[in-house]
């Protein structure tokens, strides 16, 4: 083989080697790109799976809670919103309790006629006339209060009269039931239930004297109070995510 042929053969070998290296580098580059794509797809898949898992659990919890509450709108009658303060009929020496049936269950309340005779007297009178039947919990603030008793359903209504303030001597507790107001001497029919320790402490800020007339204390049905609160929102407006009703309030005297 001549020197020229040998050099040509060597050149061809070098060219083939370069082509092979280029082919291998291109193959490796494609392989790395595929691996990066698969890793990205895996990360996205895991993230999506986690998001779906947790959000589906939240949805399931919401659906489970909603399933415990009736969606039926109760029958109601027109409310007398031009009343005078009812005559005193409660006896502070006696015990009074209220059974509040809601679309999420029943709440039992021990009324404190001794501490707040006029407030309890008005609540008892309104309950006995069916004033609360079919009214909404129009304001539900999460981790704070469940508020109802407004015949207008928007937080502006009442029975037509206002009551003097009868706040508690020692503040509020979880399950305290009190009359809502918009300032001194403006309590009417609207009530709220403190749903948590945080909420009760917030109600007591600035006292004594405290701001809200006490009605009593939940003795049974705090699970219902908490269930109702699960349909609330964060913020003072407390716009409910579901319509929850007070179906009926029955008063027992002993």
Contacts of 119 (CB under 8 A, 6+ apart): 163, 166, 179, 187, 213, 214, 215
Q: What is the pLDDT of residues 179-234, one digit of tens each?
A: 999 999 999 999 999 999 999 999 998 888 999 999 999 999 999 999 999 999 99
Question: What's the CA gap between 99 and 68, in Å, rounded?
Answer: 19
Is residue 135 predicted with pLDDT exceeding 90? yes
Q: Of 13, 235, 243, give the one whose Cα is nearest residue 135.
A: 243
pLDDT band, very low/low/confident/very high, at 42 (cuts 50, 70, 90): confident
Q: Could you give the C-alpha distances from 36 to 22, 23, 31, 93, in angstroms and in order? A: 21, 20, 9, 79
Q: What is the pLDDT of residues 136-166, one digit of tens each?
A: 999 999 999 999 999 999 999 999 999 999 9
Q: For the whole model, what pTM was predicted?
A: 0.76
Q: What is the pLDDT of residue 41?
A: 79
Q: What is the pLDDT of residue 54?
A: 56
Q: What is the pLDDT of residues 45-102, one digit of tens each?
A: 766 665 555 554 544 545 556 678 999 999 888 999 999 999 999 999 999 999 999 9
């Amino acid at each position: 083989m001549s020197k020229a042929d040998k050099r040509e053969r060597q050149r061809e070998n070098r060219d083939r080697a370069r082509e092979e290296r280029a082919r291998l580098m291109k193959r490796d580059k494609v392989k790395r790109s595929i691996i990066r794509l698969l890793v990205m797809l895996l990360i996205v898949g895991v993230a999506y799976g986690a998001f779906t898992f947790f959000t589906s659990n939240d949805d399931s919890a919401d659906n489970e809670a909603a399933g415990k509450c009736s969606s039926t709108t109760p029958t109601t009658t027109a409310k007398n919103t031009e009343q005078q303060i009812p005559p005193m009929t409660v006896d502070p020496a006696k015990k009074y309790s209220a059974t509040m049936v809601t679309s999420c269950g029943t709440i039992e309340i021990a009324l404190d006629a001794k501490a707040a005779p006029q407030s309890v007297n008005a609540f008892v009178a309104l309950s006995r006339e069916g004033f609360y039947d079919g009214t909404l919990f129009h304001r539900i603030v999460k981790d704070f209060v469940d508020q109802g008793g407004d015949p207008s359903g928007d937080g502006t209504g009442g029975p037509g009269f206002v009551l003097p303030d009868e706040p508690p001597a020692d503040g509020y507790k979880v399950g305290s039931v009190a009359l809502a107001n918009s300032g001194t001497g403006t309590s009417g029919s609207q009530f709220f239930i403190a749903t948590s320790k945080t909420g009760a402490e917030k109600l007591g800020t600035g006292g004594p004297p405290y701001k809200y007339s006490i009605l009593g204390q939940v003795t049974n049905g705090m699970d219902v109070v908490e269930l109702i609160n699960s349909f609330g929102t964060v913020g003072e407006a407390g716009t409910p995510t579901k319509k929850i009703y007070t179906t009926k309030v029955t008063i027992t005297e002993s």
